[in-house]
Amino acid sequence: MTKVQLSPAEFFFCYAGFSYDPHKQTLVEGKMECAKALAMAERWASEQGLSFEWNIDDDPLVYGDETGQQWYCSCFDEDGKLLSSLGSIEFSDDVGPFGVDPYSRIIEAELALEALSLDGAASVIDPLMIRLDVCQQESGCL
């Protein structure tokens, strides 16, 4: 079986979290809206020269008896100004943001989306195509 290359929007549709208003949209519509916003923010971050820095979190949150490594990610503009950040991030593997876990890409897109909303450039959202059949095949996400 040949693995299909997912578009950025399809990647986020399959792997990122989402929210939706059940009074205004279906679950799938909400998931599509969030995936498209993350894909657009990821592209915008690349076009704007934003960078992301990953470090071990020196002040992690501890829940119960969890002892896993936690990380901190910061988003900077091209001049080095801090735009957004998030800490206490855990990964499913022992390698953290540099492993095969897609979570680091999702975190970076979410931080870019926050920076984008602060920049006021949210109107640059354009229609992105999501092939639902491909997403279903990739991760069974529907």
- At residue 132, what is the residue type? L
Confidence (pLDDT) at 50: 96
Alpha helices in the chain (DSSP H): 8-15, 27-48, 103-119, 132-139
What are 59-80's pLDDT values in tens digits?
Answer: 878 776 666 788 999 999 999 9
Domain ranges of the chain: 8-139
With bands split at pLDDT 50, 70 and 90, how would you rate the model's confidence at 116? Answer: confident
* d(C-alpha 70, C-alpha 90), whole Å: 5
Better pLDDT: 140 or 98: 98
Q: What is the mean pLDDT of residues 116-142?
A: 54
CB 72 within 8 A of CB 57: yes
What are 13-41's pLDDT values in tens digits?
Answer: 999 998 888 999 999 999 999 999 999 99
Phi then psi for 56, rounded to 5 degrees? -65, 135
pTM over 0.85: no
Number of H helices, E strands in the chain: 4, 3
Q: What is the mean pLDDT of residues 94-112?
A: 88
Query: Is residue 53 scored above 90 in pLDDT?
Result: yes
CB 27 within 8 A of CB 5: no
